[in-house]
Amino acid sequence: MIVAIVTFKLPERWTVADAASVFRSTAPKYLGKAGLVRKHYYITEAGDRAGGIYLWESKAAAEACYTREWKAMVTEKYGASPDILYAEVPVSVDNIANVIESV
């Protein structure tokens, strides 16, 4: 699996309530997204950066999401272009299912 951490610098500071309101408007776009296992939206404590932490089945699935059009939508909606960091996931701990998964 692959984790993609998407970050963008906000032009103005947001509160958690601001972030939740905006994120709820885009969250439905990710339901049923091919290859997406889970997405967490986040806002930093300082309120100056936000983004998403995505768990993907593969890097190809992630790259299929992060198209030129997607990047333009993010830039328009949040006022900043996104940075994307990819990382391999060799081990996962799931406390809900009470399992440890590994490659």
Query: Over its length of 103 residues, how does the chain's per-residue pLDDT go in tens digits?
Result: 999 999 999 999 999 999 999 999 999 999 999 999 999 999 999 999 999 999 999 999 999 999 999 999 999 989 899 999 999 999 999 999 999 999 8
CATH of residue 67's domain is 3.30.70.100
Contact status, residue 58 vs residue 2, Cβ threshold 8 Å: yes
Whole-prediction pTM = 0.91
Contact 26/77 with Cβ under 8 angstroms?
yes
CB 5 within 8 Å of CB 84: yes
How many structural domains is the chain composed of?
A: 1
